Chains A and B, each alone.
Chain A
C-alpha cells in the first residue's frame, strides 16, 4: 500500500518549484480538452515561434556595430543562399561558401587554442539575446588560462556540421559554435554551444559535445561560459571530444549523494 511521507517543515517549497518550472502544469480542463485560455495561448506562442524561424539576421543591426567592432567579428555565409534553401538543404548549411572559406582563411589565425564561431541557426533572437553576454566571458576565460583566442566570426544560414569545414581551415584545438536553437513555444531565445576537439571532415555528432538550453529559464549565460571552458579544458586534456568526454559537476554530485543517504 501507499506510504504517505511525513510533512516536512519547510516553508512552501512547492510554490518555489512551481516558479522554477516553465512547464504548463495544472492548467485545468474542459472535458478532455484545454480551457479556452490555454488553447489560445498555445496558438499564440506557436505563431511567435513560426515567425521567429523565418527571421533573417542582420549582423550589424542586430548585434550592433559597437559589438562587432569591439570583438573584431566579421560575417560570412554558408553555401545556402536563402532561408527557404537553408531549411530544405542541410548539406548546404554545413559547408562554407567559397568566398567564406577565402575570407576566413585570410582573416583568422590558424591553430587557436579556442576558436568561437557564431551561427544564426534556427533562431536569430537567441543569438541577439545571448551572444553579446557570452562571448566576452569566453574571451576572459581563455585569457585567464593563457589560451590563444581565435578571431571570432559569424556564419549566416549555419548548420552544426560547419564545424568540420572550419576545423579543416583553421585547425583550432577546441572549436565552439554558438548557434540559435529551433524556437519553441516557451522561448525563441535558446542558444546551443556545440563543441569539438580538432574537428575534421567526416566527423559526426559522436565526436561533438553540446551544451543546450542557454536562456533565462535554462542555463544562465555565466554558467554556460564556465561549462564551455571546463569542457574545453577536459577536451584538451583528453585530446578528444564527443561521447567519451562527459561533463562533471562537483556540486551536483554532492546533491545526488545526499539524496541517496536520505532514503
Chain B
C-alpha cells in the first residue's frame, strides 16, 4: 500500500505506517523532540487524509514495533480478539471514527468492541477526532470495576485522595486524608506517593491508611504508590495491600527503564489476589491493580522506536488492560513542556488518553495537572477538568488546594471535585456515598458544613493512629 495524497496540488508521500501515524498527530512538542512530527500544517492534514483511508486490517497486520523485539507488541497480538474484529476488519480508520460517534452505538455496543480493537487502531481513530468528538464518544462508554467498592457506574464521579507529605509524616498524611473525606472524596482510593521508596516507609503508610479505613469502616481502597517491588516486599513483611500500583509504558524498553516487565506485573497481581483471599475484608470484586501512564514517557527513556507518543500511550493501555486494573489514570501534565508544551497540548492529550483508554475497556481516570515549568496554570486545569467530567471520566485526583507538597506540581483539589460533581449532578461511588451519609458528611445529597461532628470523630482517629 502506498501512503500518499495530494493537498491543493501539493503531493505528500509517507514512507510507512509509522510515519503516517506520527505526522497525523495534533502538534506535540514531544513528537517534535523525537524528530517525527509533521513539518507543516499541510503535511499534518495530508497524513490525516491518508490515515482515514487505511483499512483497520492493514494496521493490525503491520505492527509499528516488531513483535520479535518487543514483548508489548507480542502481548497486543496475543490478546487481540480476532473473531470480534472480523466484522470491523474492512472498515477504514475514517469509517471507524463515524462508527464510534454514531448515536446508534450505545455503551454496550462499543463495550463489546474492547478486545476487537488493538491499541494502534484506537490511536489511529483518535488522530482523526476533534476535541468534542473525543468527549462525546468517550461519554458513551462506561467501564465499571470493583475492589472494596464499585467505580465507573453512570452518574458516578470518583476521586482519589492524594494526601502526600514531603517527609512521609503519617499524621500529616492522615490529616490531609480526613480533609478529603470531609469533602466527599476518597472513593477511588486513598493513595499516597511516598517521598522515600523503602519497605519501612511504605509499610508504615499502608498500615496507617488501613487503620483509618478499618476504624471508620470506610468502603474504599488504600494504596502506597511506591515501586512494585517495594510494595510486594512490604506485603511479605505483613503490610496490607489493597491495590498494587505501578507506572507503566508502551514499550518493553521503556518498562525496563521503570524496572519492570510483564512477568513482574503478572506475578505481582497473582500475589495480591492471593493476599486478598487471606484477609477478612468484604471485597466486592477482584480488580487489584492501579496503573499510572502518560504520553512522552517512552521518549523520555529513549525507548520510543520512532513511534509517536500518542500511539505509545495507546500501547500502554494495551499493557494495562491485560491485568484487569481497578484504576488507570494518565498523569497528563506531569511530564513537562518538552513533551506537552502548553495548555493546548495538555488538554488535547488528556482528552485523547481518556477516550483511548475507554475505547480499550479501561476504567480511565485522569490526573489533570501541570508543572511550574509548563505554559499552563490552574485555569488550564479547570478547563480540562470540566471537559473530562463531561466526557464521563471515572475519577480525578483530590489534592489539598491543588498543591502537592511532595511532588511539587498542581493537580485538582477537593474543592474542584465538589464543583465538578455539583455542576454535572454526579455522586461518589454508591457504597462510599452510603458511608458519607452514615457519617453525616453528606445530608440530602449535599455536603454538610465543615464544622460537623464527623470532623471531630475523624480527627480523633488521626490522633490515635498517628
Nearest-CB distance from A69 to chain B (Å)? 32
Of all chain B residues, the one with the shortest Cβ separation from A30 is B415
Cβ A246 vs Cβ B459 within 8 A:
no
Given contacts A1-B217, A190-B408, contact A21 B176 (CB under 8 A): yes
**Among the listed stretches A43-51, A95-103, A149-157, which one makes contact with chain B, having 4 or more residues with CB under 8 Å of it?**
A43-51
B406 on the A face (CB < 8 A): yes
- Decide: B176 and A34 in contact? CB cutoff 8 A: no
Q: Which secondary structure dominates where chain B touches chain A? A: helix
User: Is B464's CB under 8 angstroms from A22's CB?
Assistant: no
Q: Evaluate contact between A33 and B419: CB separation under 8 angstroms.
A: yes
Question: CB distance A217 to B238 under 8 Å?
Answer: no
| Contact indicator A2/B405 (Cβ below 8 Å) | no
* Chain B residues with CB under 8 A of A49: 372
Whether A255 and B204, one on each chain, are in contact in the complex, defined by CB atoms closer than 8 angstroms, is: yes
Chain B residues with CB below 8 A from A6, complex form: 464
Residue ID in chain A nearest B196 by CB atoms: A247
Number of interface residues of A (CB under 8 A): 75
**What chain A residues lie within 8 Å of B259 (beta carbons)?**
205-206, 242-243
| Min CB–CB distance A118 → chain B (angstroms) | 19
Q: Distance in Å from the Cβ of B293 to the closest Cβ of chain A? A: 16
Q: A181-B408, A260-B238 are in contact. Are A219 and B377 (CB under 8 A)?
A: no
Do residues B460 and A259 form an inter-chain contact, with CB atoms below 8 A? no
Is A105 engaged at the interface, CB distance under 8 Å to the other chain? no
Residue of B nearest to A227 (CB): B196
- Does the CB pair B418–A32 fall under 8 Å? yes
Question: Which residues 213-247 in A have Cβ within 8 Å of B in the complex?
Answer: 213, 215, 217-219, 242-243, 246-247
Residue numbers in A under 8 Å from B415 (CB-CB): 29, 32-34
Of A8-16, A71-79, A133-141, A170-178, the stretch lying at the interface with chain B is A8-16
Give the CA-CA distance A189 to B457 in the complex, in Å.
36
**Residue in chain B with minimal CB distance to A243:** B259
Q: In whole angstroms, what is the CA distance A204 to B457 when docked? A: 47
Known A-B contacts A22-B405, A28-B450, A185-B403; A246 and B373 likewise in contact (beta carbons under 8 Å): no
Interface contact B337-A87, CB-CB below 8 Å:
yes
Question: Chain B residues with Cβ under 8 A from A16's Cβ?
Answer: 171
- Is there contact, CB below 8 Å, between B199 and A248? yes
| In-complex Cβ contact of B402 among A42, A52, A53, A210 (8 A) | A42
- Given A183-B408, A206-B256, check contact A29 B33 (CB 8 Å): no
Chain A min CB distance to B139 (Å): 22
Check if B165 sits within 8 Å of A21, measured CB to CB: yes
Residues of chain A with a CB closer than 8 A to B365's CB? none
Of A52, A205, A247, A253, the residue contacting B257 (CB under 8 A) is A205
Q: Which residue in A21, A185, A217 is a CB contact (below 8 Å) of B171?
A: A21
The answer to whether the Cβ of A17 comes within 8 Å of any Cβ in the partner chain is yes
Contact A24 B403 (CB under 8 A): yes
Contacts A204-B256, A215-B166, A218-B166 given: A50-B172 contact, CB under 8 Å? Answer: no
Task: Write out, one digit per residue, whether chain B residues 430-466 have a CB within 8 A of any chain A CB (1) or not (0).
Answer: 0000000011000000000010000001011111111
Residues of chain A touching chain B, judged by Cβ–Cβ distance below 8 Å, are 1-8, 10, 13-14, 16-18, 20-29, 31-34, 38, 42-43, 45-46, 49-50, 52-53, 87-91, 122, 181-187, 190, 204-206, 210-213, 215, 217-219, 242-243, 246-249, 252-253, 255-256, 259-260, 263
Taking A21-B172, A32-B419 as given, write out 6 further A-B residue pairs in contact, using a Cβ cutoff of 8 Å, ordered by the A residue number.
A43-B378, A184-B403, A186-B403, A187-B408, A206-B259, A243-B229
Closest 10 CB pairs of A and B: A184-B408, A21-B172, A218-B166, A17-B171, A32-B419, A243-B259, A204-B257, A24-B401, A49-B372, A206-B259
